[in-house]
Amino acid sequence: MLSPDQIKPELSGLKDALAELGSALDIGTLSARLEAISADSERQDFWEDHEAASKLLKEKKSIETKLSGFEELQAEFEDLETIVEMAEEEGDGSLDEEVFQAYSKYTQRFDAMKIANLLDGEHDSANAIVQVHAGAGGTDAQDWAEMLVRMYMRWAESKNYKVKLWEIQSADEAGIKGATFTVEGENVYGYLKTEKGIHRLVRISPFNSQGKRQTSFASVDVMPEIDDEVTVDIAPEDLRIDTYRSSGAGGQHVNKTDSAVRITHIPTSIVVTCQNERSQHQNKEVAMRILKSKLLELAEQEQKDSLAELAGDYSQIAWGNQIRSYVFHPYSLVKDHRTDAENGNVQAVMDGDLDLFINERLKQRPPA
């Protein structure tokens, strides 16, 4: 634990870093833009163009989040300076723990806002469509895919993000073959895009009667949920649309009608499915939204004629392609192979503690 005497020299650097962050955020421009949007929103004809109005209000909320976050950082820095001075005056160590806690809290919040400022890519502010698929490893891989879905849902829950599960393919023995869900919130795609790739699990298999160690794999694909205003041309003759009965739990309606929808984009062989909505029409609408996001992502790849590019850096969900390893046995460690970030508390990671890995990856990459 750092003492107040050790923390005090750090304050000057933190103050300079706070000023640099304010310059990077361009607080003056943001404030002026917020005033302009607020003035526009008070016009009587503001809601005549509902789509444009909604877009402006979304921008307004994003600016307000940045400005309030920066103001809170400024206030907390002043509080930190005050408590360090008080600890110096007391000189008996009674405030050491409080000073350290205040310093730790401040540096964590500062780092989080600095990371958020890196998210300036075209789609970083969008919601994220996440697809998880079991790979090599049989039943263990299917169980692993389900564990990953839970991990991301716990992460989203910790951030107060909203999750919508669109489709899940249950496996015969345990776990799932795959799942598709959307995470909604500020900058979700900017954060979750770092999770795209192969995730490797090493553990004593609960499905092996001999108690042997098993290595299994699952893939995570992440796409931005595109706005309705983004146009993606899809020729009707390029689509094959199949309906079928939902395979998972969901009540009488889901299980007894052919409400689930599978859409195949013939030119690219992309297949998307949705089964968790109550009607075939709703499932088709969601599946088309996911397909458009996939096609948009494909169009933005440097090599647009390569289907492998769509799936990120993993043509095979198996050994040698993993971005991260989760080792439960013979030791406890989660390691990201791109950044070398490590966390020895595997259970915490499985409960959604992903910030270390996400932040280190964002620091490593220049803004998109």
Spatial separation of the C-alpha atoms in residues 95 and 107, rounded to whole Å: 18
What is the CATH code of the structural domain delimited by 4-116? 1.20.58.410
Average pLDDT over residues 146-156: 97
The helix/strand/coil state of 71 is helix
pLDDT per residue over 311-350, tens digit each? 444 445 555 679 999 999 889 999 999 999 999 999 999 9
Residue carrying the six token digits 């009587």: 44
Instruction: Please say whether the beta carbons of 199 and 326 come within 8 A.
Output: yes
64: left (phi over 0), alpha (psi -120 to 50) or beta: alpha
The set of residues, in sequence order, having a beta carbon less than 8 Å from that of 8 and lying 6+ positions away, is 84, 88
Q: Which residue has the tokens 């915490």?
A: 348
Q: Whose structure tokens read 């075209």? A: 122
Torsion of CA 234, 132, 121, 38, to 10 degrees: 90
Contacts of 194 (CB under 8 A, 6+ apart): 357, 358, 361, 362, 365
Q: DSSP code of 193?
A: G
Q: SS3 for 313?
A: coil
CA dist 238 and 283 (Å) reads 19
Two tokens at 100? Answer: 């350290």
- Mean pLDDT taken over the chain: 86
pLDDT at 313: 44
The mean pLDDT of 288-300, rounded to a whole number, is 80
Average pLDDT over residues 78-92: 91
Q: Provide the edge-to-edge strand list for the sheet that holds 270-274.
A: 239-244, 260-265, 270-274
As a residue count, the chain comes to: 368
Task: State in words which class domain 128-225+308-364 has.
Answer: alpha beta
What pLDDT was estimated at residue 351?
A: 97
Q: How many other C-beta atoms lie within 10 A of the C-beta of residue 319?
A: 13
Q: Answer with the residue of higher pLDDT: 181 or 250.
A: 181
> Which pLDDT band holds residue 296 (cuts at 50, 70, 90)?
confident
Residue 94, C-beta contacts closer than 8 angstroms, at least 6 positions apart: none
Per-residue pLDDT tens digits for 183-231:
999 899 999 999 999 999 999 999 887 878 899 999 999 999 876 656 6
Kindly list the domain boundaries of the chain, sorted by start residue. 4-116, 128-225+308-364, 236-299
For domain 236-299, give its CATH number from 1.10.540.10, 3.30.360.10, 3.30.160.20, 3.40.50.300: 3.30.160.20
**Whole-angstrom Cα distance, residue 231 to residue 14?**
44
